[in-house]
Amino acid sequence: MRYSYMPGCSLLSTARGYDTSARAVVRELGSELVELEDWNCCGANAIESVSYLLSVALPARNLALAEQANRDLVTSCSSCFLNLFKVNHRLQREPALQGELDEILAVAGLRYRGKCRVRHLLDVVANDIGVEAVASRVKRNLSGLKVVPYYGCQTVRPYGEYDGPYLPTSMDRLIEAVGAEPFPYLWKTRCCGGVLMTTEKAIGMSLVSELLAAAQGADCIVTVCPMCQMNLDAYQGEISVQLGVRIRMPVLFLTQLLGLAFGLSEKELLLDQNIVPVSGLLRQLQTV
Amino acid sequence: MAEKTFNLTRDMLDHTFADLVTPDREKLLTCIQCGTCTASCPTAYAMDYTPRQLWRLIQLGLKEEVLTSNSFWLCTACYLCTLRCLRGIACTETMSTLKRMAVSMGMEKLSSSARFYEAFRDTVRRHGRLHEVELMITFFGRAKRLGAIGYTRLGFTLWRKGKVSLDASAVNIRGLDQIEAIYRKVEELEAKP
């Protein structure tokens, strides 16, 4: 299967490991991500807080470009996913919006008719490609590895289009498919604080601390959102100092974990870019 | 937060307020104060008014009290309240609307968040995509200069790991003129009364 692919801005920088591993893993699984040409920022959470119309128009430009390509538009970022998906939802819900959007996109020589299907990469891997296909590619045994499936909020909320909006299971099934064990975790979709880590750090730190504390006992956390990965991975040093407990929990993108199971190298998965080192995890894998 | 008493007078109340802040005023007016939103909210503990209290203030039309609070600025848009609301109120969207309205009326209490969103908007306008380093520099320049110190070490780590580049123009898209045209058109439409 071929998909149009929009990696999103974070995947060009702080989450490059996600982009690289996502492309490699999907290729291994026999599908293809064709990057949407000249895509733009979807607006993340920020734009809706300053302008409603811009929060529709920015993702809609990408949708208009993808509509021409006539393939599902896949994104690996949960914020991009929500913003793109929301445009379709709003066009159905607000009859007046189509006219306004037409007027705005016309200045860019574009038109969006609301026909592009928006998909999260997790949905594609779990439901199009499927658990059996993933299991059949496994070359390296991950058995014994306890993995926290952390979905984050916008991966499944509010629409719950392809999985449960509160306690989803698609990532759990993929973790099992590669022989690892999903760690029981009730905070699968609890918010990581998103941008509060920058604007109101004390609150962001407290949310992330709670998520990390609940993950103790597991070997690593996996996630499918660049923001979640960054928040959980980058502040563990500071949190350890604050709490007086040493926390060193590797936080991988789901596609990095799948890639390891498929026998891809650390380099191919850019694992060296993760902030908490994954070397201990790799040693553990060699011994099983 | 300690209990607060309002002596409601007719001129304090603005019954048009609910119309402006939520896409479905009828639903918001049916809020039964069950508190599921507050119980679901990961940041309610730090809010001046919890989400439940906020809906009541909106029902009463206590505009200034609402708009000058920090509550909606702490909303991370995790949508758990929206998912669980028994009345189907668009809680998260209402929080976003309050952010826009507070800025337009110069009432924002947590200006750091407002400046962050604006810096984000301006960076995307310049490049078509987000350049995280430029965003952080713009934000800390406009909002909290001292706050930047806490992030310099992280910034260095990210740079050392090869996660960020310092060249913002590297993220420029080809259709920058389209982005600029879209921004201008939106400004024009939103300036209309």
> Which structural domain, as residue segments, surrounds residue B49?
10-104
Task: Give the domain-ending residue among B104, B139, B163.
Answer: B104
CB half-sphere exposure, A229, CA atoms < 13 A: 31
Mean pLDDT over the full length of chain A: 96
Residues B67 and B84 placed together within one structural domain of the fold: yes
pLDDT (0 to 100) of residue A9: 96
Q: Indicate if the pLDDT at residue B146 is higher than 80.
A: no
Long-range own/partner contacts, residues B52-56 (CB < 8 A, 24 or more apart) = B55/B28, B55/B31, B55/B89, B55/B91, B56/B31
pLDDT (0 to 100) of residue B95: 97
Residues B157 and B95 placed together within one structural domain of the fold: no
Residues B53 and B87 placed together within one structural domain of the fold: yes
Residues B130 and B173 placed together within one structural domain of the fold: yes
Closest approach of chain B CAs to the CA of A114, in angstroms?
18
Q: Indicate if the pLDDT at residue A14 is higher than 80.
A: yes
Kindly state the average pLDDT of the residues B97-104.
94
pLDDT (0 to 100) of residue A288: 57
Kindly state the average pLDDT of the residues B1-11.
74
Kindly state the average pLDDT of the residues B71-97.
96
Kindly state the average pLDDT of the residues B2-22.
79
Tell whether B3 is covered by a domain.
Answer: no
- Overall fold of domain A138-287: Rossmann fold (3.40.50)
Long-range own/partner contacts, residues A30-35 (CB < 8 A, 24 or more apart) = A30/A129, A30/A133, A31/A1, A31/A2, A31/A3, A31/A124, A31/A128, A31/A129, A32/A1, A32/A2, A32/A3, A33/A3, A33/A5, A33/A74, A34/A2, A34/A3, A34/A4, A34/A5, A34/A69, A34/A71, A35/A4, A35/A5, A35/A6, A35/A7
Q: Do residues A62 and A84 make contact, with C-beta atoms less than 8 angstroms apart? A: yes
Distance, in Å, from the CA atom of A229 to the CA atom of A80, rounded to the nearest integer, reads 15
The string of pLDDT tens digits covering residues A118-160 is 999 999 999 999 999 999 999 998 999 999 999 999 999 999 9
Closest approach of chain A CAs to the CA of B2, in angstroms?
20
Residues B67 and B46 placed together within one structural domain of the fold: yes
Residues B21 and B87 placed together within one structural domain of the fold: yes
Q: Which of B80, B161, B162 sits opposite A153 (nearest CB)?
A: B80
Q: Indicate if the pLDDT at residue B57 is higher than 90.
A: yes
**Higher local confidence (pLDDT), A57 or B169:** A57
pLDDT band at B156 (very low <50, low <70, confident <90, very high): confident
Residues B51 and B128 placed together within one structural domain of the fold: no
Q: Domain segments of chain A: what residues?
A: 2-120, 138-287
Q: Do residues A274 and A243 make contact, with C-beta atoms less than 8 angstroms apart? A: no
Distance, in Å, from the CA atom of A197 to the CA atom of A202, rounded to the nearest integer, reads 8
Q: Is A104 an 8 Å CB contact of chain B?
A: yes
A153-167, B100-114, B137-151: range with highest mean pLDDT: A153-167
Task: Give the domain-ending residue among B42, B74, B104.
Answer: B104
Count of structural domains, chain B: 2
Q: Indicate if the pLDDT at residue A270 is higher than 80.
A: yes
pLDDT band at B163 (very low <50, low <70, confident <90, very high): confident
Residues B48 and B84 placed together within one structural domain of the fold: yes
Beta strands at A181-182 and A146-150: parallel, antiparallel or unpaired: parallel
Q: Do residues B25 and B91 make contact, with C-beta atoms less than 8 angstroms apart? A: no
Q: Which of A51, A53, A153 sits opposite B78 (nearest CB)?
A: A153
Tell whether B137 is covered by a domain.
Answer: yes
Kindly state the average pLDDT of the residues A214-240.
97
Instruction: Please give the residue of chain A at the shortest CA–CA distance from B160.
Output: A273
pLDDT (0 to 100) of residue A62: 98
Q: What is the ipTM of this complex?
A: 0.94
Kindly state the average pLDDT of the residues A84-97.
96
Task: Give the domain-ending residue among B104, B138, B154.
Answer: B104
- The pair phi, psi for residue A141, each rounded to 5°, is -75, 125
Closest approach of chain A CAs to the CA of B118, in angstroms?
7
pLDDT (0 to 100) of residue B25: 83
pLDDT (0 to 100) of residue B125: 97
Residues B78 and B129 placed together within one structural domain of the fold: no
* Cβ pair A13:B162 closer than 8 A: no
pTM, whole model, 2 decimals? 0.95
Q: Indicate if the pLDDT at residue B145 is higher than 70.
A: no
Residues B87 and B27 placed together within one structural domain of the fold: yes
Give A2-120's CATH code, choosing from 1.20.1050.140, 3.20.10.10, 3.30.413.10, 1.10.3470.10: 1.20.1050.140
Residue A271 has what DSSP assignment? G
pLDDT (0 to 100) of residue B1: 52
Residues B52 and B33 placed together within one structural domain of the fold: yes
Using a CB-CB distance cutoff of 8 angstroms, which residues of chain A are in contact with residue B189? 53, 100, 103-104
CB half-sphere exposure, B171, CA atoms < 13 A: 27
Q: Which of A108, A189, A207 sits opposite B181 (nearest CB)?
A: A108
Using a CB-CB distance cutoff of 8 angstroms, which residues of chain B are in contact with residue A52? 96-97, 100
